[in-house]
Structure 1
Amino acid sequence: MKKSAIVRRKWIVTSSVYLLVLLGIFMAANLGWLPTALLSKIPRYDLWGHFLLYGAAAYLIHRAFGKRMLRVGRFSLSLGISILIGLMVAEEFFQMALPRRTASLVDLAAGCFGILVFYGWGESRDRVARKKLDIKKSPRVK
């Protein structure tokens, strides 16, 4: 098996496990099982949660999908992140039907901002790694 296939499989497994954890967090929130007394000690914990949880999911999912992109007119969008945004919007709207939850555009914005930041960080990190690899591969000049 090629190294790239092994690496991609690791991303798929890691993001799948993470998404199961995320689903568990959503279910706990929907059922009122989150430790809100503890979480409320963190200022704006709900916004930070959306930012960090969706951001980390974007980082993992983009890699699990092999960084595949969708062409939409002149724009390219990450396939994995597009699916994640769809799920995020659906989850936020689903909250309208639940008595213990409230849908919020601010939460949605925090999630989107997290996705953008983590996507940008991941792409930047990959560019630096590629440059280091190119430097190692290039012949030395005296």
Structure 2
Amino acid sequence: MHKLLVAITASFFLFIIWIIYLANTGQSSVFFDLVRQIPYGDKLGHFSLFGLLTLSFNVACKFKTFVLGELKVFWGSAVVLVFVSAEELSQHFMPSRTLDIYDYAANVTGIIVFSWLSSVMARRTST
């Protein structure tokens, strides 16, 4: 079962990489068209994609944590936060993209909310 979860996480991550590639190269996609049809679709997309990626990474990492000060941080959440930060900052250097603090805020909010959900799931699976 764990191998299946890792495969799903890897596939979802590759899907996100593909979406980023399309955006970086200025290509169109049915996903982009769909997002434009939904009010705040871009922000909801950022929140959902990176939130779900966080949850799947945390599950795939078996809810492993490390301590940062007095805070327990999931490894999966940390990996996604570093990836998201690098990806958003890289947009500053791409002519076809726009660095947007609100996109980054939606990403981080998704990471936080789905990290909380991960902690609920971790507690339930440990009992």
**What range describes the TM-score normalised by the shorter chain of this pair?**
0.7 to 0.9
The alpha-carbon distance between structure 1 residues 65 and 22, as it changes in their structure 2 partners (threshold 3 A), is same
Pair member with larger Rg: 1
Range that drifts further, 34-43 or 120-129: 120-129
Distance in structure 1 (CA, Å) of the matches to 2:81 and 2:123: 24
Aligned partner of 2:76: which letter?
G
4+ residue segments displaced more than 4 Å: 125-131
1:72 aligns with one of 37, 47, 68: 68
For residue 11 of structure 1, give the secondary structure of its aligned residue in structure 2.
Answer: helix
2:14 corresponds to 1:20: yes
Structure 1 unaligned regions, length at least 5? 1-6, 132-142
Quote the RMSD (CA, aligned, Å).
1.8
Counterpart of 1:4? Answer: none
Distance in structure 2 (CA, Å) of the matches to 1:65 and 1:57: 12
TM superposition shift of 1:23: 0.4
Structure 2 unaligned regions, length at least 5? none
Counterpart of 1:112? Answer: 108
2:54 aligns with one of 33, 55, 58: 58
CA displacement, residues 23-61 of structure 1 (integer Å, 9 cap, x when unaligned): 011111111223444432211221111100000000000
Distance in structure 1 (CA, Å) of the matches to 2:116 and 2:69: 22
For residue 37 of structure 2, give the secondary structure of its aligned residue in structure 1.
Answer: coil
Distance in structure 2 (CA, Å) of the matches to 1:85 and 1:34: 26
2:52 corresponds to 1:34: no
TM superposition shift of 1:73: 2.2
How high is the sequence identity, in percent, across the aligned residues?
Answer: 26
Aligned length: 125
Distance in structure 1 (CA, Å) of the matches to 2:100 and 2:3: 35
TM-score w.r.t. structure 2 length? 0.87
Aligned partner of 1:94: which letter?
S
For residue 40 of structure 1, give the secondary structure of its aligned residue in structure 2.
Answer: helix
TM-score w.r.t. structure 1 length? 0.78
